[in-house]
Amino acid sequence: MLQLVNDKPFIICSISLGTNVVAEMLTGAIEPNGLILAGPCLSGDGFGLDKMMLPGADLSAVFAENVPEESVLLYASAASSSGYKKDLDCFIKDYHSVQGTFRSSLFANIAMGNYSDQVAIIQQVKYPVCIVFGEDENVVNTHYLDAAPIKLWNNTIYKIPSASHLANIDAPGRLINCCLLLLQKYFKIIGYG
């Protein structure tokens, strides 16, 4: 990552489990100038799976290999409300491109508690964080971070209309607009606009 940014200012936008990866990265030498967390799944003291996940959300396809295709389709329909066949086909293709035991290893690490207090890590960043959920979220409770001690962009957790967990699929234009607004404000702050 450090080679990619080459000491230039940068903002990270992450989605779903990617928000966990980004939070863990922040414990190292990575210091972005802004964060956009879409459909975040951040864990922390008082912010466990019991508060994070919606009742009835079936995550078997997320945390195991060789699940029945029916489970993959069930998760795809919960995570995205797109309804377009091409979006579903792209999701399924991406899902099956994950090789090895990544999913079960991820679950094993979560079960053993091999992760940081990600909410506390995000709380420590020096700038407001843009948190975005799909308004029609079917996987994560969109209110579970309401009481989190995170400095929020415009003191708001944003909800994107007509989007579920994967707003990048359901409402890519609206998610990009969030990113552009953050970038525009950031570049004004550092004197580029």
Displacement of CA 111 from its chain's centroid (Å) = 20
Torsion of CA 147, 150, 156, 160, to 10 degrees: -90
Nearest in space to 153 (alpha carbons), one of 183, 188, 117, 120: 183
pLDDT at 1: 55
Lowest mean pLDDT among 8-12, 17-21, 133-137, 162-166: 8-12
- Reported confidence tier of residue 132, pLDDT bands at 50, 70, 90: very high
Question: Has residue 110 got a pLDDT over 60?
Answer: yes
Cβ atoms of 107 and 17 closer than 8 Å: no
Question: Has residue 72 got a pLDDT over 50?
Answer: yes
Higher-confidence position of 118 and 190:
118
* CB-based burial label for 122 (10 Å; 0-12, 13-18, 19+): buried
How far apart are the C-alpha atoms of 27 and 55, rounded to whole Å? 31
Which residues make beta-bridge pairs with 35?
12, 129
Question: Has residue 2 got a pLDDT over 80?
Answer: no
Question: Has residue 73 got a pLDDT over 90?
Answer: yes
User: Which tokens belong to 67?
Assistant: 């699940």
Kindly report the CATH number that applies to the domain delimited by 2-189: 3.40.50.1820
How far apart are the C-alpha atoms of 38 and 119, rounded to whole Å? 14
How far apart are the C-alpha atoms of 122 and 83, rounded to whole Å? 33
Q: Which of 3-7, 42-46, 181-185 has the highest mean pLDDT?
A: 42-46
Express the helix, strand and coil content of the chain in percent, nearest 5 each.
45, 15, 40
Nearest in space to 64 (alpha carbons), one of 6, 29, 118, 108: 108
User: Which tokens belong to 65?
Assistant: 């290999």
Which residues make beta-bridge pairs with 22?
none
Beta pairing, strands 152-160 & 34-38: unpaired
Q: How many CA atoms lie within 13 A of 104 on its CB side?
A: 7
Q: Is the pTM of this model over 0.85?
A: yes
